Chain A
Amino acid sequence: MKQSTAKNNQNSKDQAKKMAVTEAILFSKGDPVEIKSLIKFLKISPAKFSQILSALKEKYAQVDSGLQIVEKKNKIQLVTKANLGLLVNKFLGQSLNEKLSAATLETLAIIAYRGPITKAQIEYIRGVNSSFALKNLLLKGVVERRENPLDNRSYIYEISFDFLRKMGLKRVSDLENYEELSQKLSEKVKNGDFSENNSSAKK
């Protein structure tokens, strides 16, 4: 009995240390950090790491903490709390979010809920050319693009960590109606190519 409590003590000490190391790395890096590389560095299982991450988040959830963790896919970033945004900004004197046009916001919404997504798929939903809005979003850094692994003639677009930070979101799924809107209506919409699908289905 005594032995096992000693072991538990050791375990929690170990976990506390790893939590501290994780925090230190996230702080010093500033940028998003890959979870995989943290797991590898700490030499722990993914399950153990998510325990550490939850513990960190719990700590930051306290009112007397000004920090939070933002997540996207397999990366995490240590940032300040969104509800302190205006106050922190007052001190830093950085520029606030500039107003976005309706077209830009529409494009951004489609990327946020449906990304990663191609330009053709965005334009299928909007029914209008979206090059300008996309360029604008890329410039603002709230959207990033990479080559489409399925078709190297096109790019796929998705939201960036800066999007989450500027929107005050911890993760993209915290968006309103994310469950409903992220669901692709049908394969047709996803492919953004009706006519061919239809004709081939009929044959």
Chain B
Amino acid sequence: MQYQVQLDEFKGPLPLLLELIEKRKLDVTSVSLAKVTDDFLAYLKEREEVSLQNLAEFLFVASQLILIKSKVLLPFFELTAEEEEDIKELEERLREYKKFKKAARQLGRRWQQQRIAFCREQTIPIQVKPSFPPLEKTELAKALTSLLKRDETPAVLAEETIEKTISLEEKLASLKKSISQRVEISFRELVKNSQDKAEVVVSFLAILEMLKQRFITVRQEGAFGEISIKRLSKL
């Protein structure tokens, strides 16, 4: 007798076994297991592409089936307590699987009914609320004038020269030197003699690095305030 079992995806030994039993309209008992043993083995023989891992599972079930069939055919054939347990387990697992197979079908129908309960779409509020401290107009004016003063020299158009860049290490060394001479220094003082913006940026990075290394502590009173740098340890 030929059994064509439609496979949409990999089927383990339990689903196959159940399918074979249900095809014969049998209940899950050891007698019906014995009856489908040949079908199961035939299926296994036909499908040579069963992978090694799956093959092990199939062979395990197959060996149990052969045991069950032997018992049914040979009444005097005694099974050990462990074998009895194993067979009972296989039956129990099959019955269990059968229940869930049915439940899965019901669940699938329910899923397709599209009885969806909608909830309020949660749009995660991104709060962009920069907290600016109250500023006096005069302070803004002051900041602007100092900015303008800094940029007094008219911008010279690019003169194809490669400028020597200050490395972070160099700056770190020089900053350590100037800080070691004093206990406290402001950032403004520190970058007073900077050549260009790049050097200010590098100085700032150097400050962050020293902060990370716990050489210094840094304080700033309010936004745009002076940054004062304090030495922590002996450098």
A interface, CB within 8 angstroms of B: 27, 30-31, 68, 70, 77-83, 85-86, 88-89, 92, 94, 96-97, 99-103, 105-106, 108-110, 112-113, 124-129, 161, 164-168, 175-177, 180-181, 185-186, 188-189, 194, 198, 202
Q: Which of A27, A126, A166 contacts B14 (CB 8 A)?
A: A126
List A contacts of B120 (CB < 8 A).
27, 30, 78
**CB pair B118 A176 closer than 8 Å:** no
Q: How many A-B residue pairs have CB under 8 A?
A: 142
Q: A112 and B107 in contact (CB under 8 A), knowing A125-B97, A194-B89?
A: yes
Q: Please classify the interface of chain B as helix (H, G, I), strand (E, B), loop, or mixed, using the class held by over half of its residues.
A: helix
A78 to chain B, nearest CB (A): 7
- Roughly how many angstroms separate A124 CA and B57 CA in the complex, as a whole number? 12
**CB pair A109 B117 closer than 8 Å:** no
**CB pair B111 A128 closer than 8 Å:** no
Is B177 interfacial (CB-CB < 8 Å)?
A: no
List A contacts of B108 (CB < 8 A).
100, 102, 105
- Roughly how many angstroms separate A176 CA and B105 CA in the complex, as a whole number? 11
A48 to chain B, nearest CB (A): 26
Q: Please classify the interface of chain A as helix (H, G, I), strand (E, B), loop, or mixed, using the class held by over half of its residues.
A: helix
Query: Chain B: which residue is nearest A78 at the CB level?
Result: B119
A67 to chain B, nearest CB (A): 9
Is B122 interfacial (CB-CB < 8 Å)?
A: yes
Task: Give residues 1-37 of B contacting A (CB, 8 Å).
Answer: 8-15
Query: Chain B: which residue is nearest A127 at the CB level?
Result: B14
List A contacts of B114 (CB < 8 A).
85-86, 89, 96-97
Query: Chain A: which residue is nearest B111 at the CB level?
Result: A97
Is B81 interfacial (CB-CB < 8 Å)?
A: yes
Q: Which of B53, B99, B115, B119 contacts A30 (CB 8 A)?
A: B119
